[in-house]
Structure 1
């Protein structure tokens, strides 16, 4: 969003000298990358974090959720070992041990984002709450007491996001969990929640619902929209929903949560569907309906910087005050760790060198994945988006159920779907549903980023037998659909002549 002009701003005095070249507020992906770049450029940079280094991804999101998903998948494979010629067994799930593994994984990755590492890199790290008191002065309320003020030529706001909790009557009374709190509050449970409600049918909700049902919970998933994973095409979300249901998740799409409460010691949630109320009893509820940027308490509004759903910035990630920038979830338009790190490069370069040259943030090729089983990964346009935007396209599709390696692995489900310009091999978007879809997508991300078409993928040797061959197969499907019939006729006549 472009910053709008403000009127009647206070007459702040710009310092003649600055303590720092850059102050970065927030040590998640965007903040860490920004500080790293500044230190590499020999700038004097201070990174301020109020809570945990590594931000949401390391401590509450990407890392712990993937560790949980892995344990849940192993439990699922044990139950279905007969599909591999082994004896199926019902796994014993000491849930506290599963959660200890989750925390061990966090601990093993923590050094990558630690105070010690960034200090060695040349970044000053302060732990406390930062607030802009004027456009060039940051005041830090230090966690260990006291305050510190720093003047700085530039500031990057990288304060991330937090779970959004909808204002459902009674939600506070039932002691809800979020993707931020469940890792500590469930840590010492000997067993997974017996009856679990997952509120939300997006990527987080689907990953959590599938993981917990595989670890022994009876899971009810509630989604107000008509289907799960509304950002994906119907064929992709249908495969995920079918998988969740096969695992035992009770999926309630088209159901709106209207109230929560406690009755005779039993927690409940009322949902409405087509005018009919249904009450679902549960032991725990995880609210996973999305995340809201952290916008308040940093002094932005007092400086005239507009904050609504995100911090308002221009194409260079600059706010109303060009030396104050934003990156990551707090800036939008995407809430992905890898996009936060991508934005951080642009924010840091513009903060440090914007007076000489500015760099416009590039969102032309943004990939993402949902780590359900099967995974869903996408880059560029979906069919739904192409139709809505009236963009002409062709679809080429290859079913992974026909891929040798997938058959051998017992993971022969899903598809690779590519949208191209009509009559050309230029890729507009790709969706993969299947085992390791997030990894397989990288080839299409690379191709789109560098303007390579399906012909280049087809002409590249892929190891046999691998899942990556699916990408070459879909390129082959496109080629077969675009063979020149006249040329084939000439070839046939030529070969007939050659036989004499």
Structure 2
């Protein structure tokens, strides 16, 4: 913070303290103001213009310095100047003072606060970027936070000062009117019994009802604006139409049918979406087969006759496809029709905010949920179309094990499949442009996974950028690293560098539904799009492209769609676990150590090595650790990372603890079955307890024991 900013901050604080400790605060009490009413009214009668300007100046100073008392000043304004003149003075003075407070906050605090708490301000920034003044108007009209907090917070954003002023002037008008009117009523009291007068009671009743009325009015204004030009049907064929039958769409339909809503589910491909057909299920089946091969090859360390296992890849893929077929009935049209869901196989297209066209039919519904998922992203690499490349969608079509597999991308999908194919016998190379695998995770966790891949024969090339693919004998991928170029041979290239939302082909552009910068559908915290009756769930909107995240969102979408007229719920992502199913597994929930450093969040890190866990030693699965981030000096869990055997199961314990507010001390006080991998959670809690043991108290306890023994 520069010298000028520090000087301005000192001046503001000094002025506030001088006003407060110099006796100014005495004038900001109800009793004091009531005692001044007679004098103030006499002065107004004698000097109306000077009184108005002077009072307005005092109001501006109090508001600009964010001092308490603005509410009492508004009441006093109504008592002294009457309703309409008081409203004029208080309205302009409060808006000018608020703007000055905002500008002071912007000049003095914005750079330093954003550097430290930038991540936490994203929600306000997103609202300003999306709706600008309308977002501020909502805050003013339905005050969740005190106005002085809004003034200071808005100074941290990029909102224009003029926009802030006129929106504040308009947004605070209703509340100012109620307070000024209440002050006028208070000013006319001749005795305490008069406080029960109908006019005063009506004023305060209006003040209490203002947030509810304002919210409804705001919703009406938004709807009127967004639905302009569309003809709303007089009646609807159904309550809900869901587009997409992946995990998110299936759960949304299930919940809607459970509460007896009339719901239609539309899917153009296979029920179950990516998770069942091309993602979670086939990948875990392949991982299990690859693990069996690895265990057979490593039997020597457990006293078995070691030897190279022959892999029948066709049977491996048969196991994968049988796994899909076995689970398939859970997501089948027949099951959902029995649950009461109308299932239509066809291609949906939005034709209005309430209508969906499917194969020539037009279906109307009060609400629509978009759950169209995502697909693998294929980068524009020169020559890629001319070589045999696969994605996580098409890798399952292989019938023969590739001799040389080149995996492009070091995220969860790339790591899982690279390790699996290497264990099954492919010569596998993994190419990652970043300087570590699993780029969203902590470096120590990624390092354990990388070591495991390399131990299984995967050649890991970090910091390598794919430049050009060439067909030939063999096919090659040219990569660049540290200014040098090399060519990597392959028989099959697996592209696994991320997924992109499915936002084309079903009418988003016709309805002008906006997308975010990352090409996912933009929604608010209630999962509503630009049109409040159209909601989005799952990979198509994010922020997490995880099956369980989409299923989690589905509850919010179904409830907000069907019952939002009574109560809406903000989607809660505070506890969202994720797991990479390599061996060892890597799982995380909540805050990571790297993320804490990037956001300036103060944490205490507690770590426990799997090599110290008895069950891990017994199973020769000692790679990895448990790492927990807690609030400094407290046992409240902010995040946890588990790398090791069955990390996906162990992380569930930490997710439960975070969701229910259970700290490490209570985990330490819980009895765990022995020996289990879950005991690692208790062990890490014990590490924190040892770190914070009361040494001084223990010194006295030691002296007590010495005295008990009769020692010196």
Q: Tell me the TM-score normalized by structure 1.
A: 0.96
1:212 corresponds to 2:421: yes
1:441 partner SS: helix
Tell me how far 1:499 sits from its aligned partner. 2.9
* 2:575 maps to 1:393: no
Tell me if structure 1 keeps the 8 A contact 2:434–2:462. Answer: yes
1:447-499, CA deviations, whole angstroms, 9 ceiling, x for partnerless residues?
Answer: 00011100010000000111111111110011010111122122222223333
Matches within 5 A, 1:76-475: 76-141=294-359, 147-184=360-397, 186=398, 188-189=399-400, 192-263=401-472, 265-308=473-516, 309-475=519-685
Tell me if the contact between 1:34 and 1:344 (Cα under 8 Å) persists in the aligned partners.
Answer: yes
CA distance in 2, matches of 1:262, 1:90: 32
Matched residue SS, 1:97: helix
Work out whether residues 227 and 531 of structure 2, in 8 Å CA contact, stay in contact via their aligned partners in 1: no
CA contact (8 A) 1:38 1:44 kept: yes
15-24 or 82-91, which moves further after superposition? Answer: 82-91
Asked whether the 8 Å contact 1:397–1:416 carries over to 2, the reply is yes
Find the aligned partners of 1:154 and 1:337 in 2 and give their Cα distance: 23
Alignment check: 8 A CA contact 1:196 1:283 kept: yes
* Shift of residue 238, structure 1, vs aligned partner: 0.6
Q: Is the 8 A contact 1:84 1:410 kept in 2?
A: no
1:8 deviation in Å?
8.7
* Number of residue-to-residue matches in the alignment: 490
Partner deviation per Cα, 1:44-103 (whole Å, 9 max, x = no partner):
000001101000001000100000000001101111101111111211111010000000
Report if aligned partners of 1:9, 1:304 keep a CA contact under 8 Å in 2: no
Using the alignment, how far apart are the partners of 1:118 and 1:303 within structure 2?
29
- Matched-pair contact (CA < 8 Å) for 1:350–1:358: yes
1:195 deviation in Å?
0.7
CA distance in 1 between counterparts of 2:228 and 2:557 reads 26
Contact 2:476 2:489 (C-alpha < 8 Å) held by counterparts: yes
SS of match in other structure, 1:431? strand
Contact 2:435–2:462 under 8 Å retained in 1: yes
Distance 2:674 2:514 in 1: 54
Secondary structure of 2:281 counterpart: helix
The partner residue of 2:283 within 59, 65, 68 is 65
- Structure 2 distance, partners of 1:320, 1:394, is 41
- Show the counterpart of 2:140: none
The SS at the match of 1:239 is helix
SS of 1:303's equivalent in the other structure is: coil
The answer (yes or no) to whether the contact 1:210–1:247 under 8 Å persists in 2 is yes
1:145-168 CA distances to partner (integer Å, 9 max, x unpaired)? xx2210100000000000000000
In structure 2, runs of 5+ residues without a counterpart are 1-125, 135-221
Q: Is the 1:301–1:307 contact (alpha carbons within 8 Å) kept by the matching residues of 2?
A: no
Structure with greater proportional strand content: 1
**In the alignment, is the contact (CA less than 8 A) between 2:226 and 2:531 conserved in 1?**
no
**1:467 to 1:10, Cα distance in 2 relative to 1, 3 A:** same
Say if 2:242 and 2:252, in contact at 8 Å, map to a contact too.
yes
- The answer (yes or no) to whether the contact 1:378–1:429 under 8 Å persists in 2 is yes
Q: Quote the residue 1:144 is aligned against.
A: none
**1 CA distance for matches of 2:276 and 2:556?**
22
Q: Which has the larger radius of gyration?
A: 2
How far off is 1:250 after superposition? 1.1
Contact 1:378 1:430 in 2 (8 A): yes
Matched-pair contact (CA < 8 Å) for 1:200–1:223 = yes
Structure with the higher fraction of residues in helix conformation? 2
- Structure 2: distance between partners of 1:247 and 1:266: 24
TM-score, normalising length from structure 2?
Answer: 0.68
Q: Distance in 2 between matches of 1:10 and 1:475?
A: 57
Task: Note the alpha carbon deviations across 1:372-401, whole angstroms, 9 max, x for none.
Answer: 011000001111000011111111111111
Residue pair 2:388, 2:491 contacting (<8 A) in 1 also: no
Query: How far 1:206 moved relative to its partner?
Result: 0.3
Q: What residue number does 2:264 align with?
A: 46
What is the alpha-carbon distance in structure 2 between the residues aligned to residue 148 and residue 212 of structure 1?
A: 46
RMSD value, Cα = 1.3
